[in-house]
Chains A and B, each alone.
Chain A
Amino acid sequence: MRNVLFSAILLLFFGGLTYLAVDLPFGAPRATDMDDYFIRNAQAQTGANNVVTAIVFDFRGFDTLGEATVLFTAVLGVGMMFRKLKEGEEYEND
């Protein structure tokens, strides 16, 4: 019973998402003003040939700073989890 209900809900979800996906235009995006501005002005304003890099590091540089901070914090978290255990401290399972 639970399995049938679960499958039904998933199928419903699948159908809804497919209904939304069919309407999306592939290959011809509708609102492109911002991207056209970036393609036209990225070289003149940042001097970089690669528009994606120009956006990542210049137009959205603050975003990238946050991203680098997230990576740094993740490394700190992993280091915290695998810290050396203190004398006499043990995991329960060991």
Chain B
Amino acid sequence: MSSRLLLALPYFTVVVLIVLGLAVMLSKRNVIKILMGVCLMESAVNLFLVATGYRHDAVAPIFTNVPAGPMALPTVQALTLTSIVIGVATSAMMLSFAMVIYRKYGTTDIQKIQKLKG
């Protein structure tokens, strides 16, 4: 079991990151900290996608002066690129929501905001 876990170490890192992100998102009450949890899960998904496409002793799929040998899978890398850009867009939106919330309510604690509502 432990040797197989070591073989799949990147996937194990992904699992740890996803669980940490979920724990942060569910247990913290500060909006900024929840946002950090979301970003952690995003990074975990990116790492998972890149790890899926790795081949042993492979080079990056770029033909400019490439040494001979197998190439890593390019499709997952393209999808990771898409995912990173979407992540930047959503992070910007969430951060500006946090700033507007702070300006309107004077706090970033979600439970206090619920009490102040109305």
List the A side residues contacting B63 at CB < 8 Å: 43, 49-51
Residue of A nearest to B116 (CB): A92
**Given contacts A13-B19, A51-B63, A67-B82, is CB(A26)–CB(B10) below 8 Å?**
yes
Instruction: Enumerate A16-31 residues with CB–CB distance to B below 8 Å.
Output: 17-18, 21-22, 24, 26-29
CB distance from A61 to the nearest CB of B (A): 11
List the B side residues contacting A6 at CB < 8 Å: 26-27
List the A side residues contacting B73 at CB < 8 Å: 29, 32, 35
Interface centre among B61, B62, B90, by most A CB within 10 Å?
A: B61
Interface: B46 (CB within 8 A) = no
Tell me the interface secondary structure of chain A in the complex.
helix
Q: Decide: A13 and B55 in contact? CB cutoff 8 A.
A: no
Residue of B nearest to A35 (CB): B73
Residue of B12, B78, B88 touching A18 (CB-CB under 8 A): B12
Residue of B16, B62, B74, B93 touching A78 (CB-CB under 8 A): B93
Interface size class of B (residues with CB under 8 A): 35 or more
Q: Decide: B78 and A56 in contact? CB cutoff 8 A.
A: yes
Query: What are the interface flags for B36-53 relative to A under an 8 Å C-beta threshold, 1 for contact and 0 otherwise?
Result: 000000000000000111
A residues adjacent to B (C-beta < 8 A): 6, 10, 13-14, 17-18, 21-22, 24, 26-29, 32, 34-35, 38-39, 42-43, 49-52, 54-56, 60, 63-64, 67, 70-71, 73-75, 77-78, 81-82, 91-94
